[in-house]
């Protein structure tokens, strides 16, 4: 489970900022007539209840940060060993994309690594095989396989663009992988390492 992996890393002294998708899908809950803003306002409650429940079993509290496209947050003031920051785009105010939100958070917090979790094993080549590592400037738009998930709005193209904007090394990986964060940070061949352009 992702929460257990995050707790393990926090105990090692690592600082994890979690950008979570799913508010609109949870709020809509099959009610297609709900607009995105209303669904997001309902879904934020369910989303945070879920994260609060899984982290509570590890004696970790959670705090929520809602971000829109223009705001800036001082994440240093929110860091604590017994609190997990959960970030989401504020779709009640405006339409956001959590890949770009994660990119913005990585830049603002001066993160060392951006990890984007999805429902495929990483960046795929033309034969749908996983690419272990690639330079961002080697990726061309025409070669990007389109993928989306039930709870997110961004596909692979959005993730690549978000990584370009973050301007740091990133990893695209399958969120269903066991202990995916720990394995990535341990240097295992999980997902795709996307290396940034060297300045």
Handedness of CA 16, 105, 187, 171 (dihedral sign): positive
Q: Do domains 1-96 and 111-199 have the same CATH topology?
A: yes
User: Domain map of the chain by residue range?
Assistant: 1-96, 111-199
Q: In CATH, what is the architecture of 111-199? A: 3-Layer(aba) Sandwich (3.40)
pTM of the full predicted structure? 0.88
Contact (CB, 8 A) for 169 and 194: yes
pLDDT tens-digit series, residues 34-73: 899 999 999 999 999 999 999 999 999 999 999 987 778 8
Element (H, E) at 67: strand 61-67
CATH topology of domain 1-96: Carbamate kinase (3.40.1160)
Q: Which run of H or E residues covers position 99?
A: helix 98-108
**CB-CB contact of 66 with 90 (8 Å):** yes
């Amino acid at each position: 489970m992702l929460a257990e992996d995050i707790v393990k890393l926090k105990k090692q002294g690592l600082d994890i900022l979690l950008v979570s998708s799913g508010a609109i899908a949870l709020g809509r809950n099959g009610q297609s007539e709900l607009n995105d803003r209303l669904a997001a306002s309902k879904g934020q409650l369910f989303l945070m209840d879920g994260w609060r429940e899984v982290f509570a079993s590890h004696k970790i509290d959670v705090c929520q940060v809602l971000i829109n496209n223009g705001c800036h947050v001082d994440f240093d003031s929110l860091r604590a060993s017994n609190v997990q920051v959960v970030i989401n785009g504020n779709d009640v105010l405006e339409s956001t994309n959590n890949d770009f939100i994660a990119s913005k958070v990585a830049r603002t917090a001066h993160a060392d690594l951006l990890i984007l979790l999805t429902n495929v094993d990483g960046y795929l080549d033309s034969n749908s095989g996983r690419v272990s590592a690639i330079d961002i400037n080697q990726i061309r738009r025409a070669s990007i396989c389109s993928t989306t998930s039930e709870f997110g709005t961004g596909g692979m193209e959005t993730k690549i663009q978000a990584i370009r904007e973050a301007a740091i090394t990133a990893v695209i990986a399958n969120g269903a992988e066991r202990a995916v964060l720990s394995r990535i940070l341990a240097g295992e061949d999980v997902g795709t390492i996307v290396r940034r352009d060297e300045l």
